[in-house]
Amino acid sequence: MRYIIHLTFKCNLDCEYCYITKSNKTLTLETAKNIIDFIFKYMPSGEKIEILFTGGEPLIEFELLKQIMYLIKLQNSLENRNIKFSVITNGTIFSKEIKKFLSENNFSLCISCDGPPDIHDIMRCFPDKNKSSHLVERTLKEAVNIFPELSVHSIYHPATFKRLHHVVEYIASIGVKNIYLNPDFSARWTKRDADVLPSIYNEIAKWYLTYSQKNNRLYINLIDNKMEVIQRGGYVSSDKCQPGIKALAFSPSGDIYPCERFITEFSNKENCIGDIYNGIRLERIIFKNNELNFQEKCVFCDIKNFCMNWCCCSNYLTSGFYNRTGPFLCASEKTAINTALNIYKTLKGNLSQSVFI
Ligand code: SF4
Ligand code: SF4
Ligand code: SF4
């Protein structure tokens, strides 16, 4: 079960593709206490639990994060729980005190970085247009020694995706072992963009194979996640996030959303499924149908079992429907699956059983 707590809608950056409507709205300590009580009251037993702190930029509210961790430690049932704490940050705020606190509390750290400075700074600047890459690079270099499982989330965009292999090479050169590449779903992707994806993913594949053959462990979601799924014969229901059932995201007001990417504090609350005071309105969890993809193109698709067409959030952002996959996402999934299959065959020999061909 994943719980995502938005500490604030404030952010010191002004990334062009940001989906957060920024404001000064910040969690109060009282609401934070109610969220923690809500989480521990309904937390399922016997499951791995992740509590992720995000924003805006959550480390702007570092003092609040410390206070929330104190509240969590007061929970009676804490010791019997298998809880992982994580924070996702833009990497521009990373003091000695923050490092020490996150390390002492066994946080998993995820830093957003779009690649080398000339790529990163296209989208991820401060409001005055000053660049942020030098700060992020410094944070990555410091963090990788303290957090061996450090992960980097990198967003690619029509203006940057043709250099995706440079993104991977740069992040890996810093020593990061977990790289998550995701498209900016809200961007205006064209058919021409989709058509060049195979050559782009192929560049990454060639580099990945050389890297792997030197026995360096590296996880790239586009490749490794798909290889795991291919090995298992397809996604199983426990892989699927089931927003609103296996994931709950809390806004600074205490509203509850089925996925962090749907959160807003403003007028468009159509994806809100309840709040910490009145509970979850089950009828709002339309997302429980997320295992179904009604599009004909998916029903008859040979690779549907390996496709993430069940991510209702990506679907919504790319097509406007929870259960319809937009054309670029479909092309990206097809390309990622084929790329991973080719790498799998190269690394592990021919598949012993038919996967989908
Ligand atoms: S760092 Fe994150 S929250 Fe801040 S502007 Fe960029 S995408 Fe938005
Ligand atoms: S690859 Fe495209 S058509 Fe096939 S299941 Fe995925 S979204 Fe549907
Ligand atoms: S709906 Fe998609 S983005 Fe949201 S938690 Fe599930 S897999 Fe992640």
Tens digit of pLDDT for each residue in 56-80?
999 999 999 999 999 999 998 777 7
pLDDT of residue 33: 97
pLDDT of residue 284: 64
Residue 74 lies in a domain: yes
pLDDT score of 352 more than 50: no
With respect to residue 292, please indicate whether it lies within any of the assigned structural domains. no
Give the binding-site residues of ligand 3, using a 6 Å CB cut-off.
Answer: 241, 243, 247, 259, 261, 311-314
114: left (phi over 0), alpha (psi -120 to 50) or beta: alpha
Average pLDDT over residues 215-227: 91
Does the structure show a pLDDT above 70 at 134? Answer: yes
Signed CA dihedral, 59, 60, 62, 64: sign only: negative
What spacing in Å lies between the alpha carbon of 133 and ligand 1's midpoint?
Answer: 14
Lowest mean per-residue pLDDT among 11-15, 18-22, 25-29, 171-175: 18-22
Least confident residue range of 169-178, 291-300, 329-338: 291-300
Q: What angle do helix axes 327-348 and 312-319 make, rounded to 10 degrees?
A: 130
Contact 352, 215 (CB under 8 A): no
Atom from ligand 2 closest to the CA of residue 302 = 4
Distance from Cα 262 to the centre of ligand 3, integer Å: 10
Compute the distance between CA of residue 219 and CA of residue 152 in angstroms, rounded to an integer: 11
Distant-in-sequence, close-in-space partners of 53: CB < 8 Å, separation ≥ 6: 5, 7, 65, 68, 85, 86, 87, 88
Q: What residue owns the CA closest to ligand 2's atom 6?
A: 307
Alpha-carbon gap, residue 199 to 30, rounded angstroms:
52
Distance separating alpha carbons of residues 87 and 65, to the nearest angstrom: 10
Give the pTM. Answer: 0.93
**Residue 355: what pLDDT?**
43
What confidence tier does 354 reach under pLDDT thresholds 50, 70, 90? Answer: very low
Q: How do residues 258-286 score in pLDDT, each as one tens digit?
A: 888 888 666 567 788 899 999 988 766 65
- The pLDDT assigned to 321 comes to 84
Whether residue 93 is contained in a domain is answered as yes
Distance separating alpha carbons of residues 307 and 316, to the nearest angstrom: 16
CA of 230 to the centre of ligand 3 (A): 20
**Structure-derived torsion over alpha carbons of residues 66, 68, 71, 76, reported in degrees to the nearest 10:** -110
- pLDDT score of 40 more than 90: yes
Q: Which ligand is nearest to the CA of 136?
A: 1
pLDDT score of 357: 36
- Residue 26 contacts residue 252 (beta carbons within 8 Å): yes
270 is a domain residue: no
| pLDDT: which is higher, 129 or 349 | 129
307 SS3 class: coil
Model pLDDT, residue 353: 43
pLDDT value, residue 242: 72
* Tokens describing residue 152: 């980097």
Over residues 289-326, the pLDDT tens digits come to 545 556 888 989 999 999 999 888 888 888 888 888 99
> Does any domain span residue 127?
yes
> How many angstroms separate the alpha carbon of residue 312 from the centre of ligand 3?
7
The residues near 298 (Cβ < 8 Å, ≥ 6 apart) are 304, 307, 309, 325
Compute φ and ψ for 178, nearest 5 degrees: -130, 110
Q: What is the pLDDT of residues 84-99, one digit of tens each?
A: 999 999 999 999 999 9
- Express each pLDDT in 135-173 by its tens digit: 999 999 999 999 989 999 999 999 999 999 999 999 999
Q: What is the mean pLDDT of residues 326-352?
A: 87
The pLDDT value given to residue 239: 83
Locate 53 and state its tokens: 């702190």
Q: Residue 135: how many CB atoms within 10 A of its CB?
A: 18
**Residue whose entry in the numeric block shows the structure tokens 């996604």:** 235
Decide if 204 is inside a domain. yes
Q: Which residue ranges have their beta carbon within 6 Å of ligand 1?
A: 11, 13-15, 18, 20, 55-57, 90, 112
Please give the tally of structural domains in the chain.
1
Give percent of the chain with pLDDT exceeding 90. 69
Distances in whole angstroms, Cα of residue 33 to Cα of each of 109, 159, 202, 253, 301: 23, 42, 48, 12, 47
- Which atom number of ligand 1 is nearest to the Cα of residue 124? 6
In a domain, 49, yes or no: yes
What's the rounded Cα separation, in Å, for the pair 347 and 210?
A: 11
pLDDT at residue 351 greater than cutoff 60: no
Report the chain's mean pLDDT, rounded to a whole number.
90
Q: At what angle do helices 191-213 and 164-173 cross, to 10 degrees?
A: 30
User: Are 59 and 88 spatial neighbours (Cβ–Cβ below 8 Å)?
Assistant: no
Q: How far is the CA of 346 from the centre of ligand 3 (A)?
A: 30
Distance of alpha carbon 342 from alpha carbon 209, whole angstroms:
10
CA of 84 to the centre of ligand 3 (A): 18
User: Are the C-beta atoms of 17 and 186 separated by less than 8 Å?
Assistant: yes
Query: How far, in Å, CA of 102 to CA of 108, rounded?
Result: 8
Give the model confidence (pLDDT) of 240-260 as tens digits: 877 777 889 999 999 999 888
Within-domain flag for 107: yes
**Structural domain span for residue 226:** 2-239
CATH number at 22 reads 3.20.20.70
Q: Report the half-sphere exposure of 267 (CA within 13 A, side-chain side).
A: 0
Ligand 3 atom closest to Cα of residue 242: 6
Return the percentage of the chain with pLDDT > 70, whole number.
92
